[in-house]
Structures are given as structure tokens and as C-alpha cells.
Amino acid sequence: MLVTNEMLLSTICTASKRDRREAFEQIKIIGNKAIATNGHVIIEIENNTGIDIADFPEFDGIKNTEDEILLHTSEIEKIKKLKVKSSIPILNTVKIGKNDNAETAHITIPGIDNPTTIKSSQTERLEFPDTEKVKESTNSNKKIHTSYISPCELQRILDVAKKVKSEVISLDFFEDSTQWGNKTPVAIKFEIVNETEHKITGLLMPKRHPKE
């Protein structure tokens, strides 16, 4: 399997660190997807770069595999230290495969001179959370409303929540209003629930889809 640096470095932000539930410290690699969860957030990133795994150099007899692989966050931290962003697309990927004994996964990191291989520490089978079952509960037929929001503006709200040591934020989504025959996005109402003497509420203005 071939995954990009961005896939690994983005999913590691979601995976737990030093969690008593070891499965939440793993990144699941299957097909062209990387999946991570901390039990509250699920991130799934799909590789659509079009880079062919056949173009990846063979090294140490590591063969491609389509088996589900779990990588510990510590192994991705090792990759992070070794990788340097390159203008050559293939050098911005890593290959995850197995050798002939097929006991553990090997991560091959390409380089200008010689590739580097990291052997996965995962030797026993962990039960990664069934994220597909959770996805089924968000069937599109049940969807009420879609809003596009700016990560930067969302971060502003999160910063306020952290300052007042809030543990939860409530969000209310409203149906689009209709003006002149066109649907217009409606602001998302939020409340930062906290134990201070302040009631913190506000509106987050949605954005249009980038392609519109």
C-alpha cells in the first residue's frame, strides 16, 4: 500500500497518545485509506494522488500487501523525523508492505540515494474500532443540512472554549433560508458550555463551497 506523508501526519493529530485503549493509538491503513480515531473524532483520508505503487523502488524484499495494517503513532513520529518534503511526488510517499514471513508490516521510506525501512512494532492483533459501523449511522438519507465552515474561524471559537476550560460546545444547525429562489446558508448557533459566571453564545457564519 502506498500512502502520502500528509495522510500519516494528518491522521496522527486525531489518534490518542498514551491511551489505556491501545487501539486508539493506532493508525489503520487499508487500501488507499488511512483512518484514525480517539473515540470522539474519526478522520479518514483517501489517497487520490494517482501515484502508481509500481513506481516505488523495491527494497529488502518488502512486498506490497492489501491486508489491513495498524501503525502505532510512535512509528509515524519516526517517519516524520526522517521525511523531507520533496518536489518529486514519489518521495512524498511511504510504502507499507510485508516480507516473505508476513508477520509484521514494514514501512519503506524512499530517498534520493537509498530507501530506509522501519519494522512495525505491531506483532499482535488489536481490534481497531469499527468506524464503518459509525459511518452507517450517518447515511445521507438522514442528513438534514450541510454547512461549510472556515477552520480558522472554528479555531477562534475553540480558543475561547479553552480559555474558559469548557468541555463541550453545543451547536444548532438550521435549514437554509430561501431568497429569490436560491437557498442561502444560515448561521450556526453555538454555546460554549462552561462553569464560569459567563454565558458564551455566538453565531458562526458558513462559507460557500470552494467550487461554487
Same domain assignment for residues 185 and 168: yes
For the segment 145-161, the average pLDDT, to the nearest whole number, is 88
pLDDT for position 51: 83
Same domain assignment for residues 94 and 15: yes
* Rg of the chain over all Cα atoms, to the nearest angstrom: 21
pLDDT: which is higher, 185 or 167? 167
Last residue of a domain, one of 101, 116, 136: 136
Same domain assignment for residues 36 and 117: yes
How many other CB atoms are found less than 10 A from the CB of residue 77?
14
pLDDT for position 168: 92
Same domain assignment for residues 49 and 104: yes
pLDDT at 102 over 90: no
Residue span of the structural domain in which 38 resides: 2-136
pLDDT at 94 over 80: yes
For the segment 178-192, the average pLDDT, to the nearest whole number, is 73
pLDDT: which is higher, 125 or 42? 42
Whether residue 112 lies inside any domain: the answer is yes
pLDDT for position 155: 93
| pTM passes above 0.75 | yes
For the segment 86-110, the average pLDDT, to the nearest whole number, is 76
Is the Cα torsion angle 100, 104, 105, 107 positive or negative in sign? Answer: negative
Same domain assignment for residues 131 and 149: no
List all residues 6 or more positions away from 55 whose beta carbon is below 8 Å from its beta carbon. 90
Same domain assignment for residues 108 and 200: no
pLDDT at 121 over 90: no
Over residues 3-54, the pLDDT tens digits come to 888 888 888 888 887 667 788 888 898 888 899 988 888 888 988 888 887 7
Q: How confident is the model at residue 100 (pLDDT cuts 50, 70, 90)?
A: low
CB distance 75 to 83 below 8 Å: no
Same domain assignment for residues 127 and 160: no
Q: How confident is the model at residue 156 (pLDDT cuts 50, 70, 90)?
A: very high
pLDDT for position 191: 93
Whether residue 211 lies inside any domain: the answer is no
pLDDT for position 116: 78
Structural domain total, the chain: 2
Q: How confident is the model at residue 79 (pLDDT cuts 50, 70, 90)?
A: confident
pLDDT for position 158: 92
List all residues 6 or more positions away from 14 whose beta carbon is below 8 Å from its beta carbon. 36, 37, 38, 41, 42, 43
